[in-house]
Amino acid sequence: MKTKLILLMTLVASAMMANPLLSRYKTPFETIPFNEIKNEHFMPAFKQAMEEHTSEISKIVNNKKEPTFENTIVALEKAGGLLNRVGSPFYNLMSAETSDELQAIAEQLSPLMTEHSNSIRLNEKLFARIKAVYEQKDKLKLNAEEKMLLQNTYDGFANNGANLSESDKDIYRELSKELSMLTLQFGQNVLKETNNWSMLIHDKDLLAGLPQDVLDMLEENANRAGKKGWLLNLKATTYIPFMKYAENRDLRRELYMAYTTRSMKGGEYDNRGIIASIVNTRLKIANLLGYKSYADQVLVRRMAENKENVYKLLNDLLLAYRPVAEKEYEAVQNYANSKGAYFKVQSWDWSFYADKLKDEKYAINDELLKPYFELERVKKGVFGLATRLFGLRFEKNNKIQKYHPEVDVYEVKDKDGKFLSVLYTDFHPRDGKRPGAWMSEFKGQWMEKSKDSRPHITIVMNFTRPTESKPALLTYDEVTTFLHEFGHALHGMLTQCTFESLSGTNVYRDFVELPSQIMENWASEKAFLDEFAVHYETGAPIPAELIQKIKDSENFNTGNFSLRQLSFGLLDMAWHTLEAPFTGDVMQMEYQAMEPARILPLVSDAGMSPTFSHIFSGGYAAGYYSYKWAEVLDADAFSVFAEKGIYDAATAASFYENILKRGGTEHPMVLYKRFRGQEPSIKALLKRNGIQ
């Protein structure tokens, strides 16, 4: 028996050595050894990690001692460490560097992970121990963070079926597995539809109006595809400048229709049926848990608290911004008419004419600004902002392994040289990368006695690539996107919490955007731009008059931009406040939901829902409103910096101490009021946008 046990232990040790995901990383700061990890390592590692997690749960459940905060709640918090370590590179790669092979693994893995999660969440004996601790919470001498962990643990189980009967638990298991597969398929369909479309242009005259750097990018697209000409695709770096600059209206319409009809043209990548299945499955789960709608279930753990408060925010902002948006549309229409465009301005015309009106009105456009926003200089400016505000230092470390050659890795240290975090940056589009921009983590932060285990953070973007003749030059919008995601990164890097599940960005969804959106405010500040914005060819600093034009034009078409965001919030809420199964037409549902915020003419055969990954494959279901909610918060919060100075040390220290360090250790309104001294209102936002 002893010999068999030794043999078994040897085999396990051998398997762990052969699979780098299963052994302790012998790398700088225990970063992920990407060079050693192969796709075939993932599934065996997931299976072993799930087994280990199950064993850890069994020890908690079978503990003969009475349930306590330490032996149940803290023990549960610490369980699953290996599974987190295995899942971290996999799920990040699924977004930033996916492949058909990884997607096939994800499809195989999804039901296994859902079943594993359900086996824990629906474990009756485990929940009995949690409930026993929870029921004596008023007698326990817990600090604020421990109280939040206890509350989150109890709610996490209660809101995921722990109180259900055995038969209902079986239903819950099946529904959650189904939902997991549906959301995975939705995201994969969007990526495939985006990558599958392209158009090769042979006649350069058809591309009249496009700046030279855009033409160079399109030519390089063609070269990489082994073709001659200019290759259009549906990635943001092509789509956005094309819609803004291309003079050929027919081509603008063709590109617009290709972009807005992704995953809704029939065939294997059509998401309309999947949408109906997702919302109906979510509704079934919500009903099973005792809620009338999915939004009712979600909003219990949000600052907004309920759908009435969400709709109040959306409708208050709609009332304020719609008259402004209508005047803006009229101005763009009149401008188009003045230029000989005797037609009603459509969605594929809006960016083209609005940008030219902005240029004429303020003498400013992306082509004037981009030479001052060379990516390496912008990185210096953004990192420098963190140095000015929070004393951070960024040191590139080429010894840390990365998942793609284009990724850069930094050690982040505080003003005293103490290590705080690893930061990965990934800036340019690839076929294996999903659209958009995001922050994530490869490792969270937690405290173990006196040891502070620091986080590994990543920010991923899809910025314009360098060309053979020019470095990567960013648009002003890309600069603000960089600041936005970097704000999320600061939230993740500067956290100092005891429990990983409460650290960093593990906060209420409608609070998580505050640290990101507040950083965007610095983008137009002269003192900030003077730190780094110089012409990439001449080295001349960005002129003061150009910065003033940025300030003057900040609120150009703010009404239409805001209504666009509000329309997405309304669409999200429409899908997730349903109280009866959806059996109608997906696009008709969308058109009706977005109508109150519609200014541009309806394009009846285009849509948003089939590619609305935020709510159908991301974490924003019944939560897209949070961008506007956080915009109210960030305008109110930045007003303190505006009043006391954009680099005011005391204000920055308070934001660091009360917001960035605290994660989700207390209710976000408590944290916000500790920084601001009062609750926020929409007044600061309306003032910033020139509405009041």
What is the reported pLDDT for 2?
52
Q: Do 262 and 272 meet the contact criterion of CB atoms below 8 Å apart? A: no
Domain ranges of the chain: 2-163, 197-260, 370-530
Please give the share of the chain, as a percent, with pLDDT higher than 90: 92
Name the DSSP class of 617.
T
Tokens standing for residue 375: 């990516």
Q: Which residues are catalytic?
A: 485
Phi, psi of 423 (to 5 degrees): -125, 125
Please give the CATH topology (third level) of the domain spanning 2-163. Neurolysin; domain 3 (1.10.1370)
Q: What is the pLDDT of residue 9?
A: 47
| Residue 441 token pair | 């983590």
450 by Cβ neighbours in 10 Å (0-12 / 13-18 / 19+) ranks as exposed
How much is the pLDDT for 8?
43
Cβ pair 541, 530 in contact under 8 A = yes
- Two domains, one topology: 2-163 and 370-530: yes
State the fold for domain 370-530.
Neurolysin; domain 3 (1.10.1370)
Q: Are 155 and 131 in contact (CB under 8 A)?
A: no
The whole-number pLDDT of residue 17 equals: 57
Q: Render pLDDT for 316-370 as a digit per residue (tens, 0 to 9).
A: 999 999 999 999 999 999 999 999 999 999 999 999 999 999 999 999 989 999 9
Helix axes 544-553, 347-362, angle to 10 degrees: 140
Q: How far is CA 179 from CA 111, 185, 283, 532, in A?
A: 10, 10, 11, 47
Residue with tokens 């400013």, as numbered in its chain: 364
pLDDT for 681: 85
- The residue written with tokens 């949690």 in the block is 130
Q: Rg (Cα) of the chain, in Å, rounded? A: 26
Q: What is the pLDDT of residue 435?
A: 86
Coil, helix or strand at residue 269: coil
CB 475 within 8 A of CB 369: yes
SS3 408: strand
69 DSSP assignment: I
Q: How far apart, in whole angstroms, are the C-alpha atoms of residue 520 and residue 479?
A: 9
**DSSP code of residue 201:** E
Say whether 395 sits in a helix, a strand or coil: strand
Query: What is the DSSP secondary structure assignment for residue 501, as one 8-state letter?
Result: G
Residue 399 has a pLDDT of 97
- How high is the pLDDT of residue 5? 47
Q: Which residues of the chain have pLDDT under 70?
A: 1-17
State how far the Cα of 244 lies from the Cα of 432, in Å rounded to an integer: 26
Reading the block at residue 125, the tokens are 């004996």
